[in-house]
């Protein structure tokens, strides 16, 4: 049964194809769009196309950017001898938002996942090892605290160790403001293992 006109159904379908957007939300968004001024819709559509055309990977750290070298890598005031390894540009943005990290990044573009068939060759490990040829003092592994992230961290650790470069892993434990009562056992044990002296 055709509930909406063809064009409307097509637009709803497009929105529904986005991750985390269900049929109901897609309807709401599609109706919002057709009720917006034409110029507004044109800008949105053009931005989408332009972003897709222009976004590429930084030649240094492989984050998503619209320049050849991203602003962080191009910034000479940042500490280029400290590299934080993250899975995605969004993870990088999360650390950037803290405003406290002064080093540079390396974006792997994923994590090793035997389940999903992602091997070490599918993420930017080779490129990281290449960067270690330069003047690097520390590699901070900030992959996610998931099975895949941990696997990748372990793999990276083994890979970097022979080079003699300091290699650290961000701490895993009870999040700030977290109530022990609601924290899972694995995290609690991790927090215990990682306890530091006061």
Query: What are the φ/ψ torsions at residue 85 (nearest 5 degrees)?
Result: -95, 120
* Closest distance of CB 30 from its own copies, Å: 7
CB 191 within 8 A of CB 174: yes
Of the pair 2, 135, the CB lying nearest its own copies is at: 2
Using the rule CB under 8 A, give the single segment among 26-34, 74-82, 133-141, 173-181 that binds its own copies: 26-34
Angle between helices 23-34 and 6-16 (to 10 degrees): 120
CB 108 within 8 A of CB 120: no
Residue 53 contacts its own copies per CB under 8 A: yes
Please, is 117 exposed, middle or buried when counting C-beta atoms within 10 Å of its C-beta (0-12, 13-18, 19+)?
A: exposed
* Closest distance of CB 73 from its own copies, Å: 12
Residue 29 contacts its own copies per CB under 8 A: yes
* Closest distance of CB 140 from its own copies, Å: 19
* Start-end of H helices in 35-88: 38-54, 71-74
Of the pair 63, 173, the CB lying nearest its own copies is at: 63
Q: Which of 23, 59, 67, 74 binds its own copies (CB under 8 A)?
A: 67
Total number of residues binding its own copies (CB under 8 A)? 55
Residue 76 contacts its own copies per CB under 8 A: no
Residue 42 contacts its own copies per CB under 8 A: yes
Angle 147-81-148 from CA coordinates, rounded to 5°: 5
| Residue among 65, 135, 73, 74 nearest 104 (CA) | 73
Neighbours of 29 (CB within 10 A): 16
Using the rule CB under 8 A, give the single segment among 10-18, 113-121, 134-142, 155-163 that binds its own copies: 10-18
Per CB under 8 A, residues contacting its own copies are 1-8, 10-11, 14, 17-21, 25, 27-34, 36, 38, 41-55, 64-67, 70-71, 88-90, 93, 96-97, 99
């Amino acid at each position: 049964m055709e509930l909406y006109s063809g064009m409307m159904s097509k637009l709803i379908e497009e929105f529904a194809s986005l991750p985390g957007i269900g049929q109901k939300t897609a309807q709401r968004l599609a109706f919002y769009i057709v009720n917006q001024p034409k110029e507004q819709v044109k800008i949105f559509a053009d931005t989408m196309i332009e972003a897709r055309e222009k976004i590429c990977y930084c030649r240094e750290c492989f984050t998503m950017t619209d320049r050849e070298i991203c602003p962080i890598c191009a910034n000479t005031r940042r500490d280029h001898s400290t590299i934080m390894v993250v899975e995605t540009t969004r993870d990088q943005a999360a650390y950037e938002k803290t405003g406290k990290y002064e080093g540079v990044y390396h974006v792997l573009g994923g994590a090793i996942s035997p389940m999903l068939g992602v091997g070490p060759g599918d993420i930017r490990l080779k490129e990281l090892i290449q960067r270690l040829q330069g003047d690097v003092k520390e590699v901070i592994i900030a992959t996610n605290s998931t099975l895949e992230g941990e696997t990748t961290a372990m793999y990276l650790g083994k890979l970097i160790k022979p080079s003699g470069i300091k290699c650290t892993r961000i701490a895993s434990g009870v999040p700030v403001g977290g109530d022990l009562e609601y924290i899972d056992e694995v995290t609690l044990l991790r927090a215990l293992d990682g306890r530091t002296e006061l």
